[in-house]
Amino acid sequence: MTPEPARTSDSARPLDASRALDVDALIDDRRTRIVVCCGSGGVGKTTTAAAIGLRAAERGRKVVVLTIDPARRLAQSMGIDRLDNVPRRVKEVEGDGELHAMMLDMKRTFDEIVEAHADKERAAAILGNPFYQSLSAGFAGTQEYMAMEKLGQLRSRDEWDLIVVDTPPSRSALDFLDAPKRLGSFLDGKLIRLLMAPAKVGGRAGMKFLNVGMSMMTGALGKLLGGPLLRDVQTFVAAMDTMFGGFRTRADATYRLLQAPGTAFLVVASPERDALREAAYFVERLAADDMPLAGLVLNRVHGSGAAQLSAERALSAAENLEESGIVDQEGGKVGGRNSSDNPATSSPAPPETSELPEPTADPSADTLPDADASAEAGPSAEADPSAEAALSADADPSVERLTAGLLRLHAERMQLLAREQRTRDRFTALHPEVAVAEVAALPGDVHDLAGLRAIGDRLAG
C-alpha cells in the first residue's frame, strides 16, 4: 500500500507576496517624515515603534521615537536610564544614522504651551490654577491632544528627518484621532463661552449683564460644582481667553500634517479576532479621514519547524501510541510491542542454515583486536551491557509517553497556527488593498537593542 504523502498544513501557507508590506522601502524613502504606529492596547505598538526607529537609524536616517508607554523596559532596551519629555540620544546604534527617544510628559507639554503663548504673569496664574492642574494632568483627551502637540513641535524643529510616533494606549484605537477634537469641542463649548462672557464684557454694562444674566446661572453651577471649583474654572477661563484659539489652530495644523503625503500610518495588531476587528475598523476610519495608510503590522505570529505534520496526523499518531498499551504499561509487563512474549510483534526466528555466520554478542566485534576469538565464542559469550541497555530503552514506556505528549503539543500549536491564519485571511479578504507585514513571535521579551534588531529583521521579512 502506497503511504499517504505528507500534507503541508494550511497554517504554514505564507502570506501572498503581493500583499507583503515592504518596511525597508518605507523607512528608506526620504519623503517619509512621520510614521504613526496605532492600534488597540497590548498589541506591541511601543516595541514596533522602537524597532522601526532603530532600523531606520541604522539605515542612515536621523530618527526620534516619541513613545507614550511609561514602562521602564523600553528605556532599558535602548540603553537609556530614563525617558522624559526631552529627546535623548541612544548609544550603540550601528551605521551612520542617529536614534533619539523620548516619552511624552503630558503635563509638562501642556505647561510648555502655556509658557510659550502667555506672558510671564498670566502663565504663572494659569500654571498655579487648581482647575488647570487637574485639566493638564488627566482630563479626557488631554494625553492624545498633547501627543499631537508634541508631534507638531518636533516636526517644526526640523532636527530629525523621521519621527516615529507610538500612539497612546487606549481601549479604542480611534481615540488618537477623536480626542483632540473632543478637547477642542470642550474649549469651544457653550459652558466655556458662558464663563468667558464676563471677562469679555467690561464696565458698568458688564456688571449689569453679570448681575442680571449670570447670577442665576453661576448660582446653579456653584451648587453643582461647588463655589471654589467654579471660581477656579472662571479664573482659568479668563486667563486662557487669548490662548483657546491657539489650541484649536495648532490641533487643526497637526491634523492636516497627519493627512500629508509624508506621513504613514501603520496599524499594529496581533493575530486575534478582537485585535484584528479593531484594526479593520481603524483602517476604515483612516480611509474616511484621508489619512495615508502604509499597511498592517501583524505582531506575535506563531510558527512551527514541523509544519508538514498536520494537527490531525499528530493527534492520530498520539492516539495510536496510547491505544497500543505501551504508554500505560508498567515495566516488564507481558504483551508490550517489543516484548518477545507477544506473538503478534515478536520477530520470527531466522532459518537455520550453514551459510549464515554464527551471531556475535556485539555487532561491532569485528572492530575489536581479537575478532576471531569473539566469533568463536558464539551464543555462549556474555552479551554486551550497552546493547542490552539499548534494547531496554526501546521498550521503555516513558519514551512512548513522552512522544505522545509531544505530538499532542504539536497538534495544539498547529491548531493555533490555523486559527491565526483564518483570522488573518478574513482581514485580508475584507481589505485586500492593505499591505501586511507578519512579525514572528520571539521566545522572550525584548530587553535590549539586539531584541529590537530582531524585531526589525522580522518586520522587514
- Helix or strand or coil: residue 62? strand
Helix, strand, coil: what percent of the chain each, to 5? Answer: 55, 10, 35
Helix (H) or strand (E) holding 66: strand 62-67
Residue 39: partners with Cβ closer than 8 Å, 6 or more residues away: 45, 167, 173, 267, 268, 269, 275, 278, 279, 282
For 36-94, the pLDDT digits (tens) are 999 888 888 889 999 999 999 999 999 999 987 666 777 878 888 778 888 999 999 99
Instruction: Give the three-state DSSP class for 389.
Output: helix
Strand pairing class (88-89; 98-103): antiparallel
Measured N-to-C along each axis, helices 175-188 and 190-200 cross at an angle, to the nearest 10 degrees, of 40
> What's the predicted TM-score (pTM) here?
0.73
Give the bridge partners for 264, in sequence order: 35
User: CB–CB of 40/172 below 8 Å?
Assistant: yes
Q: Would you tell me how many other CB atoms lie within 10 Å of the CB of residue 363?
A: 10
Q: d(Cα 417, Cα 290) in Å, to the nearest integer?
A: 34
CA gap 43, 10 in Å, rounded: 24
Mean pLDDT calculated for residue range 123-152: 81
Q: Please say whether the dihedral angle defined by the alpha carbons of residues 319, 321, 325 and 327, taken in this order, is positive or negative.
A: negative
pLDDT in tens, 241-259: 666 667 777 777 888 888 9
The grid cell for 419 is: 486559527
- pLDDT of 125 reads 87
Confidence of residue 190 (pLDDT cuts 50, 70, 90): low
- Calpha distance 350→369 (Å, rounded): 28
Burial of 54 (0-12, 13-18, 19+ CB in 10 A): buried
Query: How do residues 402-451 score in pLDDT, each as one tens digit?
Result: 999 999 999 999 999 999 999 999 999 999 999 999 999 988 888 889 99
Query: 165 forms bridges with which residues in the sheet?
Result: 36, 66
* pLDDT (0 to 100) of residue 280: 92
pLDDT of res. 331 = 44
CA-CA distance, 73 to 449, in Å (whole number)? 11
Amino acid 372: pLDDT: 41
- Can you say whether residue 80 is alpha, beta or left, with left for phi > 0 and alpha for psi between -120 and 50 degrees? beta
Grid coordinates belonging to 313: 496526523
Contact status, residue 209 vs residue 171, Cβ threshold 8 Å: no
Cell of 211: 448681575
Selection from 34, 159, 54, 40 nearest residue 97 by Cα: 54
- Which residue type is seen at 100? H
What are 287-328's pLDDT values in tens digits?
Answer: 998 999 999 999 999 988 888 999 999 999 999 988 875 444
Q: What is the pLDDT of residues 353-401, one digit of tens each?
A: 434 344 444 444 344 344 343 334 444 444 454 444 444 445 466 888 8
Give the pLDDT of residue 300. Answer: 92
406-445 burial, b at 16+ Cβ within 10 Å, e below that, comes to ebbebbebbbebbebbebbeebbeebeebbbbbbeeeeee
Cell of 436: 501586511
Residue 332: per-residue pLDDT: 40
pLDDT at 148 over 60: yes
Q: State how far the alpha carbon of 255 is from the alpha carbons of 144, 406, 418, in Å.
A: 12, 53, 40
**DSSP-H helix ranges across 366-445:** 371-377, 385-394, 397-430
The 8-class DSSP code of residue 214 comes to I
Cα 430–chain centre separation: 22
Tell me the domains of the chain and their CATH numbers: 10-175+253-305+427-459 (3.40.50.300)
Q: Please state, in angstroms and rounded to a whole number, the distance separating the CA atoms of residues 238 and 196.
A: 6
Distances in whole angstroms, Cα of residue 272 to Cα of each of 263, 395, 420: 27, 43, 7
Cβ–Cβ under 8 Å, residues 334 and 341: yes
**Tens-digit pLDDT profile for residues 110-123:** 898 888 888 888 88
Q: Exposure string (b/e) for 218-241, b if CB count within 10 Å is 16 or more?
A: beebeeeeeeeebebbbbbbbbbe
- Between the ranges 68-82, 151-165, 171-185, 208-222, where is the mean pLDDT highest? 151-165
Selection from 6, 126, 18 nearest residue 436 by Cα = 18
Q: Which residues pair with 62 in a beta bridge?
A: 98
pLDDT confidence of residue 298: 95
pLDDT at 59: 96
